[in-house]
Chains A and B, each alone.
Chain A
Amino acid sequence: MSTTSQKHRDFVGEPMGDKPVMALSGIGDTLGKKLEEQGFDKASVVLGQFLLLKKDTEMFTDWLKDATGANSRQAGSCAQCLKEWCDAFL
């Protein structure tokens, strides 16, 4: 728990509903905008992509880095965030 940020805990603690993509851990303004440009305008859409990749964090990390230019830390953080959300709510 010590390595997760507040943002992570906020996201993973409740159903994501209509939260914007920026609510995802590791996704800030820059990455958020890039995702929105590609049509991923809500966190749930990014979740969709995560699920399409069969919840494989490695694949998702690769995809995110590729799609937005995220670095390993950001992509890994987002992947972990989604994975834990899925474990809790899916």
Chain B
Amino acid sequence: MSSLSNMSAEEISELLDEYGIKHGPVVDSTRNLYEKKLKEAMAKGKKAKPSPDKTFYREEEEEVTYVYRTPAKSEDVRDSRTYMRSRPEWTERELEHRSHESPKYTKEDFPTYGQDAPKAPKSSRLIPLWVQFLCFLAVAVFLYLVFSSMESNEPLKVIE
């Protein structure tokens, strides 16, 4: 590892970003401090430098999604779906699939996809969607009952 003091300001800045350290410009008065911070971060063995070839993603609770910038294997086809939900970047590989998919960020199924992923297209929620709807309906019904049982003349009239 080259000595920190020999690095250019830009390199220091990049290193700081890699370690996730929020920082300002690397100038004379701040350089010393940032070098120290980097040494501490390296000693603690914080988040390692990300490999230049892939981006780590933790979009959903159960899966870690990798996006490969190099030509992909078939399993990455599935990954690109999850990836697409949140990142506006397009990799070379995804350009192929662009005709099939639209760049939306909602969690949609992709019916034109040749291979349906082994994983269910359902997104992973703690509480299944239908339960959520049920709860919402229950609350709505409850509120309606409360309103209808009110003695006031026009319980449903709102601000005009």
Contact = CB atoms under 8 A, between A and B. Distances in A.
Nearest to B26: A52
A54 B22 contact: yes
Contact of A59 (B23, B27, B32): B23
B20 interface: no
B22 A63 contact: no
Main secondary structure, interface of B, reads helix
Contacts, number: 29
Interface residues of B, number: 11
Interface in A49-90: 49, 51-54, 56, 59, 62-63, 66
Interface residues of A, number: 10
B32 A66 contact: yes
A52 B29 CA distance: 9
Contact of B22 (A51, A52, A56): A56
Contacts of B30: 49, 52-53, 63
Interface in A13-49: 49
